[in-house]
């Protein structure tokens, strides 16, 4: 595969993950600059301001995306080129053959096979109690034959897997029914195309294209809140799909009746099918997701203790969690780091780890550890050195370093005025034991789950 073909695929992935508005504003203007070095990709933007923004927000992601297409890529250079050169490169790129790009919306017309993201399939979706109902409902809707329910309404906070399930439905349904047609699009795109159809006085074609498919999926419904004419058209689209018993999937950030700025009759229609929520991923699920994600990164080695750190600290969004792992691996590769340590992870991810951290106190940690090991809390801060006391004390210090923002001297003072070097020794010792002693590792995992809850 050459760089031009890889860039076509990378653009498709970025468009899908970033959303149409952000993509159009910041990522769409990027052009591929031809180069002689096979291990270096050069990307150009028409202004220094845009170049700096993309560097700050997408440099690591671009490296990971290109490496997923061309493993030999080592560097992605983001440069400022003049506007004329940008236009010329963009014009040249039109002639480049697109090898199965991932489109922002998977659409099927006559003779066209919809393109859904190959990463988002049912077998790549990690299931537990927080998302099992939504997963089973999505898989059921994708089965051939008359659907048992429609519409399927998926709702959750951002980054919990709604879009993944919608693409998985598309893959499974079209595999089972190769002659079927499908459309996936964000609600914002629905609104844009509808408004354009009204302006061009061609609403018939718009309605025929959407209502003529066998499977329609609309993501991020909350974006049409307050848009009366768009909601009117969407209501009639929903009504027709329900009347004909066809498959309809809607996703939003809250339940139908909790949507603000959405007409009551539309909310009622959406709630008449099956509404399935996806709750925020718990610690165990987040850890499993990281393991699964790491399997898709050939050559990447991240110790279990570092994965535990990410799973514990980043709890608001699965997408954010996966992004943190992508960034960590990219930085390790770009810096030729021999080992991804906890200190390296904290230096790279910084605010991402601190932002998701619950306010856990050292006192809470000491109480949990003393209860788990059946020792007195006073023993943890005493000068006793018996192994039955010293090991729980080291674990408590380790957890204090990992789960709080306290400095090493502060932690030492909380454990009987010990020196910060004692805390460092305790942290390193427990890290070593977690790799060799399953009982210690299990105790630490159990205490982390307990403290986070």
DSSP state of 281: P
**Other CB atoms within 10 A of residue 156 CB:** 25
What span, in angstroms and rounded, lies between the C-alpha atoms of 411 and 295?
Answer: 36
Which residue has tokens 């074609």? 205
What span, in angstroms and rounded, lies between the C-alpha atoms of 364 and 404?
Answer: 11
Spatial neighbors of 351 by CB under 8 A, at least 6 apart, are: none
Q: Are 327 and 306 in contact (CB under 8 A)?
A: no
Q: Is 19 annotated as a binding residue?
A: no
What span, in angstroms and rounded, lies between the C-alpha atoms of 331 and 349?
Answer: 10
**Other CB atoms within 10 A of residue 412 CB:** 21
224 exposure class (CB count in 10 Å sphere: 0-12, 13-18, 19+): buried
What span, in angstroms and rounded, lies between the C-alpha atoms of 365 and 140?
Answer: 44
- Record the tokens describing residue 294, joined without a space: 């790491």
Give SS3 for 247.
strand
Spatial neighbors of 439 by CB under 8 A, at least 6 apart, are: none
Spatial CA neighbour of 56 closest among 67, 45, 68, 66: 45
Q: Are 42 and 73 in contact (CB under 8 A)?
A: no
Helix 48-69, helix 318-334: angle, nearest 10: 90
Q: Which alpha helices (DSSP H) does 70-96 contain, by range? A: 83-93
- Record the tokens describing residue 369, joined without a space: 């550890």
Q: Is 162 annotated as a binding residue?
A: yes
- Record the tokens describing residue 124, joined without a space: 């790549």
What span, in angstroms and rounded, lies between the C-alpha atoms of 288 and 397?
Answer: 26
Spatial neighbors of 272 by CB under 8 A, at least 6 apart, are: 151, 242
Q: Is 111 annotated as a binding residue?
A: no
What span, in angstroms and rounded, lies between the C-alpha atoms of 117 and 128?
Answer: 22
How many whole angstroms from its chain centre is CA 100?
23
What span, in angstroms and rounded, lies between the C-alpha atoms of 166 and 251?
Answer: 8
Residues in the chain: 453
- Record the tokens describing residue 332, joined without a space: 């390790």
Pick out the residues of the known binding site for ATP.
159, 161-163
Pick out the residues of the known binding site.
159, 161-163
């Amino acid at each position: 595969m050459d760089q031009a073909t890889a860039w076509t695929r990378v653009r498709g992935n970025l468009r899908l993950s970033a959303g149409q508005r952000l993509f159009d504003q910041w990522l769409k203007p990027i052009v591929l600059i031809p180069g002689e070095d096979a291990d270096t990709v050069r990307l150009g933007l028409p202004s220094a301001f845009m170049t700096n923004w993309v560097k700050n927000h997408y440099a690591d992601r671009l490296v990971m995306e290109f490496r997923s297409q061309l493993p030999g890529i080592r560097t992605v250079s983001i440069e400022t080129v003049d506007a004329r050169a940008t236009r010329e490169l963009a014009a040249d790129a039109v002639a480049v053959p697109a090898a199965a790009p991932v489109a922002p919306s998977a659409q099927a017309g006559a003779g066209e096979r919809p393109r859904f993201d190959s990463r988002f399939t049912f077998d790549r979706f990690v299931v537990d109690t927080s998302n099992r109902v939504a997963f089973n409902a999505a898989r059921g809707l994708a089965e051939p034959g008359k659907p048992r329910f429609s519409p399927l309404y998926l709702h959750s906070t951002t980054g919990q897997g709604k879009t993944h399930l919608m693409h998985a439905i598309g893959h499974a349904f079209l595999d089972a029914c190769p002659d079927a047609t499908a459309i996936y699009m964000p609600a914002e795109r629905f609104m844009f195309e509808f408004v354009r159809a009204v302006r061009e006085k061609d609403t018939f074609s718009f309605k025929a294209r959407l209502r003529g498919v066998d499977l329609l999926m609309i993501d991020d419904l909350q974006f049409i809140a307050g848009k009366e004419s768009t909601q009117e058209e969407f209501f009639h689209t929903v009504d027709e799909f329900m009347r004909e018993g066809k498959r309809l999937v809607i996703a939003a950030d809250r339940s139908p009746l909790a949507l603000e700025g959405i007409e009551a009759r539309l909310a009622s229609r959406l709630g008449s099918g099956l509404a399935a929520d996806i709750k925020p991923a718990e610690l165990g699920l987040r850890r499993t997701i990281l393991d699964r994600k790491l399997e898709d990164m050939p050559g990447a080695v991240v110790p279990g203790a570092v994965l535990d750190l990410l799973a514990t600290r980043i709890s608001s969004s699965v997408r954010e969690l996966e992004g943190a792992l992508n960034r960590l691996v990219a930085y390790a590769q770009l810096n030729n780091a021999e080992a991804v340590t906890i200190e390296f992870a904290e230096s790279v991810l910084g605010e991402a780890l601190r932002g998701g951290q619950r306010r856990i106190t050292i006192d809470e940690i000491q109480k949990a550890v003393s209860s788990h090991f059946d020792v007195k809390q006073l023993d943890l801060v005493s000068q006793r050195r018996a192994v039955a006391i010293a090991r729980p004390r080291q674990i408590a210090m380790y957890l204090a370093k990992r789960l709080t923002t306290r400095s090493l001297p502060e932690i030492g003072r909380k454990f009987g005025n010990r020196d910060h070097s004692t805390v460092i020794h305790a942290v390193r010792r427990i890290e070593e034991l977690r790799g060799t002693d399953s009982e210690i590792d299990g105790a630490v995992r159990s205490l982390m789950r307990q403290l986070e809850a």
